[in-house]
């Protein structure tokens, strides 16, 4: 693992790191904020997954999480959204597929199956690296994210029972099997058999029996993607039928941007801290 940068912030350290990942067969970059802590102390870990077109950098620059994370004693890990590199297949003119649009799944279709294995990277390989190099208590993990990253947070929490104690999302894609900006990507990554898609769709996972104790979702009511891409009411219906305790907050006047995310970031950090005590 190579440290590419480190900066002091609110008594802690915001670092950026790079390593050669086995699961994605390429170099991967990720960010970690470690709050101030006592020597030998182990801290809970909160994963933030970014959305389409993003990298680890977006939330670092615009998410405004460090002050509250330092106060609460949370390590915040911000992975990249997809594999990258000259040998990684991509569609540079398509912002909904390829680089920046890994959808936190393990692709099954060539040529994408070699590199686009973000689910395994986030769930298995990167946690091992975090446990090895940071003061992390891996028995206390939470996960959240935005848009495509909100989809990733929900599906990883629902699909990995026991790994995460808490889960929240900002404007998640809750039903990507039907959403206009994810359905074409799913077919390219996973093939035409939609039964293979269900493990990466929060609504389908709940319908198929996946459960999580409590979930918080914030959704901007003025989000331009609300009707065709996000459709949070579908997940609310699935959770109601399954008896999952979902808090869905429609925030009037807010859009899909980091102005929205940063406004409610403290609420989400407090939610996770309470459940990761």
Contacts of 245 (CB under 8 A, 6+ apart): 213, 214, 215, 239
> In the prediction, which pLDDT does 185 show?
96
C-alpha–C-alpha distance, residues 25 and 86, integer Å: 12
Catalytic: 223? yes
Number of H-type helices and E-type strands within the chain: 9, 9
* 99 is an active site residue: no
Q: What is the pLDDT of residue 88?
A: 96
* 144 touches 268 (CB < 8 A): yes
For residue 217, what is the domain's CATH number?
3.40.50.1820
Per-residue pLDDT of the chain (277 residues; tens, 9 = 90+): 999 999 999 999 999 999 999 999 999 999 999 999 999 999 999 999 999 999 999 999 999 999 999 999 999 999 999 999 999 999 999 999 999 999 999 999 999 999 999 999 999 999 999 999 999 999 999 999 999 999 999 999 999 989 999 999 999 999 999 998 899 999 999 999 999 999 999 999 999 999 999 999 999 999 999 998 999 999 999 999 999 999 999 999 999 999 999 999 999 999 999 999 9
* Cβ atoms of residues 201 and 234 within 8 Å: no
Distance from C-alpha of 208 to C-alpha of 66, rounded to nearest angstrom: 37
Rounded to whole angstroms, the Cα distance separating 42 from 49 reads 22
Write out the residue range of the structural domain in which residue 227 sits: 2-276
- Tally of domains within the chain: 1
Catalytic residue among 90, 146, 223, 268: 223
Q: Where are the beta strands (DSSP E) in 75-117?
A: 75-79
Catalytic residue among 82, 99, 147, 166: 147
> ω into residue 217 within 30 of 0, thus cis?
no
Report d(CA 43, CA 277) in Å as an integer.
Answer: 9
* 27 in catalytic set: no
Going from the C-alpha of 245 to that of each of 238, 242, 266, the distances in angstroms are 11, 9, 21
- Say what the pTM is: 0.97
3 forms beta bridges with 17
CA 275 from chain centre, in angstroms, equals 18
Q: In this predicted structure, what is the pLDDT of residue 181?
A: 84
- Given a contact cutoff of 8 angstroms between Cβ atoms, the answer to whether 190 and 108 are in contact is yes
Q: Cα–Cα distance between 168 and 235 in angstroms, integer?
A: 13
Question: How far apart, in whole angstroms, are the C-alpha atoms of residue 150 and residue 170?
Answer: 6
Catalytic residue (one of 56, 151, 256, 272): 256
State the pLDDT at residue 51.
97
Residues 132, 136, 142, 143, CA torsion sign: negative
- Which residues does 145 contact at the CB level (< 8 Å), separation at least 6? 47, 48, 49, 50, 51, 151, 152, 153, 169, 170, 172
Q: What is the pLDDT of residue 161?
A: 82
Structure tokens at 117: 């294995």
Which residue in this structure is represented by tokens 């996972």?
Answer: 205
């Amino acid at each position: 693992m190579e440290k590419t940068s480190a900066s002091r912030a609110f008594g802690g350290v915001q670092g950026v790191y790079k390593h050669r990942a086995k699961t994605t067969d390429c170099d991967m970059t990720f960010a970690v904020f470690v709050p101030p802590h006592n020597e030998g102390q182990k801290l809970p870990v909160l994963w933030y997954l970014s959305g389409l077109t993003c990298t680890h950098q977006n939330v670092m620059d615009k998410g405004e999480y460090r002050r509250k994370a330092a106060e609460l004693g949370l390590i915040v890990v911000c992975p990249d959204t997809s594999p990258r590199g000259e040998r990684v297949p991509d569609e540079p003119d398509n912002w909904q597929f390829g680089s920046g649009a890994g959808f936190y799944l393990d692709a099954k279709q060539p040529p994408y199956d070699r590199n686009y294995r973000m689910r395994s990277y986030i769930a298995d390989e990167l946690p091992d690296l975090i446990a090895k190099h940071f003061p992390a208590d891996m028995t206390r993990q939470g996960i959240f994210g935005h848009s495509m990253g909100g989809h990733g947070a929900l599906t990883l929490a629902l699909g990995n029972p026991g790994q995460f104690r808490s889960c929240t999302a900002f404007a998640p894609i809750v039903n990507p099997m039907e959403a206009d900006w994810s359905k074409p990507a799913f077919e390219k990554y996973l093939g035409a058999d939609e039964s293979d898609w269900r493990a990466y769709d929060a609504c389908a996972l709940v319908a198929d029996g996946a459960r999580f104790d409590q979930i918080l979702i914030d959704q901007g009511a003025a989000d331009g993607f609300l009707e065709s891409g996000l459709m949070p009411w579908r997940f609310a219906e699935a959770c109601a039928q399954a008896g999952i305790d979902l808090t869905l907050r429609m925030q009037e006047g807010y859009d899909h941007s980091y102005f929205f995310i940063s406004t409610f970031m403290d609420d989400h950090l407090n939610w996770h801290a309470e459940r990761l005590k």
